[in-house]
Amino acid sequence: MSDPWFRLRQFTPARIAQGSAGCSQTTATLLDFQLAHASARDAVHQTWASADFASGVEKLGLEPLMLATRVIDRQQYLQRPDLGRCLAEACRPVLEARAGLSNDVALIVSNGLSSKALDNHGLALLEAMVAAFALTRLRFGPVCLVPNGRVALADEIGALLNARLTIIIVGERPGLSAADSLGAYLTYSPKIGNTDAERNCISNIRPPDGLDYLAAAAKLAYLAEQAIVRGFSGVMLKDDMPELKLAGNSELIYATNSLS
């Protein structure tokens, strides 16, 4: 008898309807599991080529700014999450010198727990964000590229730049069905000590299996404008953007902004 769950595999990368060989897994599914596990480990330990990424940022017409956390190496990053939330002391004067500029949005990019996510999707997401935010009155400051950063690092950077809000794009923790997922966290009025309740998160940005770049960028632009207008972000800022059936189409950006 065929497994009635088998036909559902076309709709999800989750491990369903794996079949069996007697009372054990089949060789094919076991090898697939081991490959996914190895891919997740590689994504965590892979070094981020931040210099190459900076070149891509420049091609988008944005200014890359290389920064560092207090993390010494990747091993310490994994063992000491607190150090990934703190900017290296030598970087503070660099940002303080730019605090007088009109930085509406402090944009931070970090490999986080998946360098593979940035390599596969980072520049494409930034390109979509440039298009989406061009239709708003919000301006980006320099794009801060920070290897081995955690989400809360954006609070310190945003505060030093005197930005109205921050958006940090970060590689998410790999799973067995997704090793290259990006997350974007938006925080209004950044300051050290902000909690996760004060952030809005857009997760699983990784087309074609996850959220599309243009849809993610449109949602970020919408939330950013709403945060500025209402004066808060996080659990108090509900994602009530109209659910248009244009995900993956550039018209989504224009339609969404015309409704806001």
Name the token pair of 118: 């940035």
Task: Provide the pLDDT for residue 243.
Answer: 64
Neighbours of 23 (CB within 10 A): 5
Distance CA 70, CA 13 (A): 37
Higher per-residue confidence, 255 vs 52: 52
Decide: 136 and 227 in contact? Cβ < 8 Å. Answer: no
DSSP-derived secondary structure for 55-104: HHHHHTT--EEE--BS--SHHHHHH-HHHHTSB-GGGHHHHHTTTTS--S
Distance between CA atoms of 55 and 53, rounded to whole angstroms? 5
The mean-pLDDT minimum among 34-48, 130-144, 181-195, 210-224 falls in 34-48
Average pLDDT over residues 123-140: 94
pLDDT in tens, 51-77: 999 999 999 999 999 999 999 999 999
Mean pLDDT score, 202-220: 93
121 has a pLDDT exceeding 80: yes
Among 11-25, 78-92, 98-112, the range scoring the smallest mean pLDDT is 11-25
Q: What is the pLDDT of residues 231-244, one digit of tens each?
A: 999 999 988 887 65
Helix (H) or strand (E) holding 214: helix 213-230
Find tokens 């990934």 and name the residue: 84
CATH for 44-259, among 3.40.50.11240, 2.40.30.10, 3.40.640.10, 3.40.50.2000?
A: 3.40.50.11240
Query: Number of helices and strands (H, E) in the chain?
Result: 10, 6
The reply to whether omega before 142 is within 30° of 0 (cis) is no
Percent of the chain residues past pLDDT 90, beyond the cut: 66
Which of 42-51, 56-65, 152-161, 196-205 shows the lowest mean pLDDT across its residues?
A: 42-51
- Residue 21 pLDDT class (50, 70, 90 cuts): confident
Residue 43 has pLDDT above 90, yes or no: no
CA 4 to chain centre: 36
Average pLDDT value for the chain = 88
How many whole angstroms separate alpha carbon 241 and alpha carbon 232? 16
pLDDT of residue 191: 96
Q: Flag whether pLDDT at 250 surpasses 50.
A: no
Q: How confident is the model at residue 144 (pLDDT cuts 50, 70, 90)?
A: very high
* 75-88 pLDDT per residue, tens: 999 999 999 999 99
Task: Name the band, by pLDDT with cuts 50, 70 and 90, for residue 2.
Answer: low
162-190 pLDDT per residue, tens? 999 999 999 999 988 888 999 999 999 99
Q: Is the pLDDT of residue 1 over 70?
A: no
| 29-39 residue pLDDT tens | 888 888 888 88
Q: Is 79 exposed, middle or buried (0-12, 13-18, 19+ CB in 10 A)?
A: exposed
Q: Mean per-residue pLDDT for 210-230?
A: 94
